Amino acid sequence: MTDTRAYHHGDLRRALLAAALEAVGEVGPAALSLRDLARRAGVSHAAPAHHFGDKAGLLTALAAQGFDLLAQALTEADDDLLEAGVAYVDFAVTHRAYFEVMFRPELYRADDAELIAARGRAGAALRSGVAALSGGGAPADTDRDSLAAWSIAHGFATLWLAGALPDRVGDNPREAARAVLRRLST
Amino acid sequence: MTDTRAYHHGDLRRALLAAALEAVGEVGPAALSLRDLARRAGVSHAAPAHHFGDKAGLLTALAAQGFDLLAQALTEADDDLLEAGVAYVDFAVTHRAYFEVMFRPELYRADDAELIAARGRAGAALRSGVAALSGGGAPADTDRDSLAAWSIAHGFATLWLAGALPDRVGDNPREAARAVLRRLST
DNA sequence: CGTGAAACTTGCCAGTGACAAGATTGCGCG
DNA sequence: CGCGCAATCTTGTCACTGGCAAGTTTCACG
């Protein structure tokens, strides 16, 4: 598994990000320990600092990766707004660790160039789905509609992840999300 | 301000919660330091443990307080679903520290009895607003509608707090929320 | 081959949460 | 009135964390 050569790990940056993803899934993004990541990767406790500077740097890289994955997921369901919303919720549940980092900007460098670019790609994918549906409406309407669509999908995803939803919604996030999101497009 | 008598502070529990609220507003719920709270209250570093057990215990108390405040805010706008949604967003922005703790169950004891009761009161206030509006519809519709209303309000609030919304939404959360929430009740 | 930079290590410091044991205080009960 | 006991708070300690500094190993490139 860990093909660790002594010194010059070779792919430490990627290994640390993978370990971080795993650790975030286990203990949440706030309780992440750089020293734990170093142990998982089989390197010394100060090695992560060399690649990411500090904890915020590492989480910045993770968030940027996450936004790119989200953009990709949204693009694939681009033609259908409802399906894009379902894809959004599905992403949050399936890639929970990414999602939890992405929307906790106090944990990373929100002004990082790469992150901003990735976030922009995800936002564009979202907006293009709304624009396709609302057709030739005024831009202001598209703005408001995409905000509403984003809000309801994001809200449902967040509540789902927080375990705040009542039991009766079931255990299938895609299905439950579809029922709720449909309320918007009537 | 801090009317500290030596030993037997008299109101340490309340003082610590107030300090915690302030600290969470400054550094977020995850970076909260019990020792810092103790310093703010003018007591020793181990005093908080006596009242709350550990950090999770303190955040549990804070979350329970928050859910009660939210229930109160929602009840006051009970007759109008749109206004209840606006009140929800307004609560999140105005009582940001509470809100941020309430929906991070990994930081506190989600099985605490007092917390569950408070959360139940908030949920009931939310559902009663939806039921009042949807009139005599089937219960399943009310369920789905309240989920949708909760999702869109919660999503907008969360995105607002995360600073994820584009600049063009302006700086007035109530107004911006109203425009978005209206999309649901057409 | 050899030199300078990149990658990684070791060692350290201040800060944190949790626990244990002791000091102080006030309250109920005789 | 006073005495014992429990609640409250303190002091001391331990393992752990993030970040910094300085040293060591390896690689890339001339």
DSSP track, A115-157:
HHHHHHHHHHHHHHHHHHHHTT--HHHHHHHHHHHHHHHHHHH
CB-proximal positions of chain C, under 7 Å: 7-12, 15-21, 24-26
Q: Do A156 and B147 contact (CB within 8 A), yes or no?
A: yes
Closest residue to D19 (CA, C1′): A54
Q: How far does the CA of residue B165 sit from the closest CA of chain A (Å)?
A: 8
In order, the DSSP letters of A27-71 are H-STT--HHHHHHHHTS-TTHHHHHHSSHHHHHHHHHHHHHHHHH
Question: Position of tokens 């940027």?
Answer: A64
User: CA B76, CA A99: separation in Å to the nearest integer?
Assistant: 34
Q: Identify the sign of the CA torsion B54, B55, B56, B60.
A: positive
Domains of chain A are 12-53 (1.10.10), 56-182 (1.10.357.10)
The mean pLDDT of B120-135, rounded to a whole number, is 84
Q: Identify the sign of the CA torsion A122, A127, A130, A135.
A: negative
Q: Do A61 and A17 contact (CB within 8 A), yes or no?
A: yes
Residues 41-100 of B with CB under 7 A from strand C: 45-46, 49, 53-56
Residue A1's pLDDT is 39
The mean pLDDT of B85-109, rounded to a whole number, is 98
Q: Give nearest nucleotide to A38 (CA–C1').
A: C8
Please name the helix (run of DSSP H) or strand (run of DSSP E) that holds residue B70, with its range, or none.
Answer: helix B55-76
Q: Within 10 A of A179 (CB to CB), how many other CB atoms are there? A: 16
Residue A137's pLDDT is 67
Q: Which of A63, A116, A66 is nearest to A94 (CA)?
A: A66
Residues of chain B whose beta carbon is less than 8 angstroms from a beta carbon of chain A are: 28, 30-31, 103-107, 110, 123, 143-145, 147-148, 150-159, 162-166, 168-169, 179-181, 183-184, 186
Q: Is the CB of B180 less than 8 angstroms away from the CB of A151?
A: yes
Q: Which of A132, A152, A160, A126 is nearest to B180 (CA)?
A: A152
Residue B136's pLDDT is 60
- Model pLDDT for residues A21-79, shown as the tens digit of each residue: 999 999 999 999 999 999 999 999 999 999 999 999 999 999 999 999 999 999 998 67
Residue A176's pLDDT is 97
- Model pLDDT for residues A129-147, shown as the tens digit of each residue: 887 776 666 777 888 899 9
Interface test with B, best of A127, A150, A152 (most B CBs within 10 A): A152
